[in-house]
Amino acid sequence: MDTPRTSPAPGLLGTGVPEAAEAAEAVSDDRLTVMGLLAETWSGLSVRSAMRLAEHGLSPVEFEVMIRLARSPMGLLRMTDLSGQTSLTTSGVTRVVDRLVDRGLVARQACSTDRRTTYAVISDAGRDRLAAALPGHLDLIETWLVGPLRGPVDAEGAGLAPFVASLRRLRDELVPCATAGSAGPLPPPRPST
């Protein structure tokens, strides 16, 4: 039985059709280079980081949850804020927190003023685990990310401070909830008068 032949998309074989020229120009676009460099850099850092964290029995997402808790006032965040600060859905945060609770690294705490609110709280064991993992993690960051960017800003404006400022600007546009709850727990609601 003969299989039907399909024709290639018009203009993608370099036939001189305008679409081919546009496609060739688009493939060479510098924006693709920027995105590719970012993806390759993140991939390299992620692999190295995951291996380093695994030495301490942590996955990258578990580490992210614990570090965000540890850096928050009183070591706690509402589960919804934790979701906003990470790339996890609320159900994803629940699963990660469940694993960390089972291992004694995080606890759950009910809000005293709003029974609908639950906080994730880093435990002393969680702080100890972070204390063990952080020196190697910070060394990795210094070696592969921050160290190469240290020094004075060069003629092209490259350096650590402009890089950090650019990352913050991009983060604030792409993930506006990334700092949700970082000011600490919300004060209790005022009684109605």
Domains of the chain as residue ranges with CATH: 51-148+156-174 (1.10.10.10)
| Whether the predicted model's global pTM rises above the 0.95 cut | no
pLDDT of 104: 98
Report residue 50 CA to chain centroid gap.
13
- Four-point Cα dihedral 60, 65, 68, 69, nearest 10: -140
List own/partner pairs for 97-103 with CB under 8 A and 24 or more apart: 97/65, 99/62, 100/62, 100/65, 100/66, 100/126
- Is residue 100 very low, low, confident or very high in pLDDT (cuts 50, 70, 90)? very high
Backbone angles phi, psi at 9, to 5 degrees: -60, 140
Q: Which of 45-54, 94-103, 154-163, 170-179 has the lowest mean pLDDT?
A: 154-163
Mean of all residue pLDDT scores within the chain: 85
Higher pLDDT, 175 or 123: 123
| Residue 30 in tokens | 């510098």
pLDDT digits (tens, 9 = 90+) for 1-21: 555 555 555 545 555 567 877
CB crowding 73-98: b at 16 or more within 10 Å, else e: eebbbbbbbbbbbbebeeeebbebbe
